[in-house]
Amino acid sequence: MGLLANLTLVFVAGFITALATGIGALPFFLVERVSDRWNVALWGLASGIMVSASLFGLISEGLANGTPAELGVGLAAGVVLVVVSHRIISGLEVSPKRYEQADFRKLLLILGILTVHSFPEGVAIGVSFADLNLDGGFSLLGFSVPLLAIFMTIAISIHNIPEGVAISIPLQSMGVSKWRMVWWAVFSSLPQPIGAVIAFYFVRIAREFLPFGFGFAAGAMIYLVLSEFIPEALELGKAVPGGGRAELVSGLVVGVLIMVPLAFI
């Protein structure tokens, strides 16, 4: 397979994760609201999956391809990316209901904010495809796809579902139609396939930076869980008996169990 075919597959994987965000809006076709209990469990599930994928997959691969020091530098860089991203978008609120009336400059601003927010997930997908069509892997449509890439694509997709729910809740309250809720949920994650392609291309042309890449993706993912996913779950849990801790822990455990096979590949 040529480079263009590889890049296309990586883009498709990233696009699948973006589409998964739209799934978070689908429950609103059936119910008026998704209960806080289910939201807490979903955030817990996403957290367990992301941490496990980082530990069992990205960090493990990073150590296999480089030194602990190289991995550590990558981890630190990933954390810095998320911290800087949070500072950039802190205080910036963009109302999705106004997207349709936004001029070109406003749309560029919106896309920029979403890119900053979604880029770490896209990087994780792209780095996980580093060994695409190299030794080993799972045969898929003529490609030899690393199992880590399959796990990571599934992990990011599952993570995006509760994010889609979180995006859809305020949209529904503002009277946005259900299908437009699905569209804007997907739109919020469209930078992910772009980030995936950029990260994949970089680690393929500069293989010596692969351990840094794995560390970078893992650091960003783990810090996102600690700084965003868990706090979001705990905030939602305030309205649930017991603070939602049982639902959060249950989701975490299920997420870890889903990803345990990755540790034995």
Do 227 and 79 contact (CB within 8 A), yes or no?
A: no
What does pLDDT average to over the chain? 79
Per-residue pLDDT band for 16 (boundaries 50, 70, 90) equals very high
With a CB cutoff of 8 Å and minimum separation 6, the contacts of 161 are 20, 21, 23, 24, 42, 46
Task: Look at residue 11 in the predicted model and tell me its pLDDT.
Answer: 94
Average pLDDT value for residue range 69-92 = 79
Average pLDDT value for residue range 36-43 = 81
Separation between Cα atoms, residue 75 and residue 248, nearest integer Å: 25
Separation between Cα atoms, residue 26 and residue 20, nearest integer Å: 10
Question: 3-state class of 143 per DSSP?
Answer: strand
| Highest mean pLDDT (candidates 37-41, 74-78, 120-124, 240-244) | 74-78
Average pLDDT value for residue range 137-152 = 79
Task: Look at residue 140 in the predicted model and tell me its pLDDT.
Answer: 74
Per-residue pLDDT band for 13 (boundaries 50, 70, 90) equals very high
Task: Look at residue 14 in the predicted model and tell me its pLDDT.
Answer: 92
Q: What are phi and psi of 139, to 5 degrees?
A: -75, 120
Q: Which residue has the higher pLDDT, 127 or 115?
A: 127
Separation between Cα atoms, residue 59 and residue 81, nearest integer Å: 17
Q: How many CB atoms lie within 10 A of CB 73?
A: 17
Nearest residue to 50 (alpha-carbon basis) of 106, 120, 139: 120
Percent helix, strand, coil in the chain, to 5, is 80, 0, 15
Average pLDDT value for residue range 215-243 = 83
Average pLDDT value for residue range 156-160 = 83
Residue 86 has pLDDT above 50, yes or no: yes
